[in-house]
Amino acid sequence: MRKPWFKIPDAVPSGSHIAIIGGGIGGVTALDHLLKAGYKVTLIEKSDYLLSAASGNPAAILDPYISLGETNEKSFYLKAYQYALQYYKNLGEDIFIPCGLSKIAKNEQELNRFKKLAPQYSNDLMSIDKDKLIFPKSGYVIPKHLSARFEESANILLNTAVTEINLNDDNSWSLFTSDKIQILKVDAVILSNSYNVENLKQTEHLKLDKVAGQISYISPEYSDNSILCSNTYLTPKVMTPAGEANICGATFEKNGTLDITDAAHNKNLENAPYRFSNPDILGGRRAIRAISHDHLPLCGPVADYKKYLSGYDTLHHGPGHKSFADASYHPNLFVCAGLGARGFLSAPILGKYLASMVGGNELPFEEKICHAIHPARFIIRNLSKK
């Protein structure tokens, strides 16, 4: 069935100037892919360094999403995982530590799931050992080393918050700060500023849940080399601002604040996939994830909300009851947000996806995944069941 509301937008001419708003892992991987595709790119970040918000933990694990059913979420994250492994490995040994990751079954039911799942894949991807599903090639990224790589190499404006973007008559975009100063005029814009997308008028309809999370730095008693995952994850010994530690986390606290709490440390310890004999909490970090209502990212062209509402207002009669016009997007405006709890896993392939879409090249996903992550999917779902 044709779905004109998810039509792929026109390509942005090669050599155009593209601004990325937000320097988390979503923005940085988009930057990398767009530079490689030959665009002039400026990344604008409100903090004084890259990977400062949700992406700024001392270590970010690549935790594959698994499920027995053939869901869009599973297809998306499996592809994302395989691409992320290759992407981070190519960035270098200082950035990605391929230490392996084991998921420990929480109960008999989960173990049965592992037993059915593992034989469907090569041992290279996953294998089962007693109560553990093992991902031998997984590991963790060190965001500090990753940001150092990009801060050197590209055109980055730090300490700059974009509060307004306006379309000009020639279809270029002007970017403004809160004091109404125009900082840039560009051909295209990618919004990678997490839950802050709702502060721009073009994307205020994109609703993301804000879910705070806390990780705990624990004196390094767990001495194995690989990551353990169960209700929480536990890293091998890594360097943190509080010294060498095992990192354990993370909590999920809807609308939680950025204040570190003992309750969250206790929860992490309680859920840790390893029994610490005498745990000493050395410190921790909190940040806020942006999570969409179906847990998939929002990545692709930005719908002109009012035109969608008027153009597709009879969708509840069924998608085939008449012929609908193609999607109305804000010209050359894209979003990559709602990366949820697995942003380091999904960001590289989303960067590739955006660069392919912007360049008019073959996309790395089959059509149903493009639709499943399309930023306009919630508008369409609501109109369909009106």
Strands 188-191 and 17-21: parallel
CA 210/CA 338 separation, integer angstroms:
9
Residues that bind ligand FAD (CB under 6 A): 21-27, 44-47, 52-55, 57, 60-61, 161-162, 192-194, 196, 213-215, 249-250, 287, 289, 337, 339-345
- Residue ranges of alpha helices (H) inside the chain are 25-36, 72-91, 108-117, 143-153, 262-271, 305-311, 343-359, 367-372, 377-384
Residue 237 three-state SS? strand
**Shortest distance, CB of residue 30 to ligand FAD, whole angstroms?**
9
CA 123/CA 79 separation, integer angstroms:
17
**Shortest distance, CB of residue 254 to ligand FAD, whole angstroms?**
12
Give the residue with the Cβ less far from ligand FAD, 141 or 327: 141
Q: Which residue, among 376, 357, 344, has the nearest Cα to 28 in the 3D structure? A: 344
Give the residue with the Cβ less far from ligand FAD, 203 or 328: 203
**Shortest distance, CB of residue 162 to ligand FAD, whole angstroms?**
4
**Shortest distance, CB of residue 196 to ligand FAD, whole angstroms?**
4
Give the residue with the Cβ less far from ligand FAD, 339 or 349: 339
Give the residue with the Cβ less far from ligand FAD, 213 or 300: 213
Give the residue with the Cβ less far from ligand FAD, 176 or 324: 176
Contacts 24+ apart (CB under 8 A), 266-272: 268/214, 268/215, 268/216, 268/232, 269/216, 269/218, 271/230, 271/231, 271/232, 272/218, 272/232, 272/234, 272/248
CA 260/CA 214 separation, integer angstroms:
7
Give the residue with the Cβ less far from ligand FAD, 125 or 345: 345
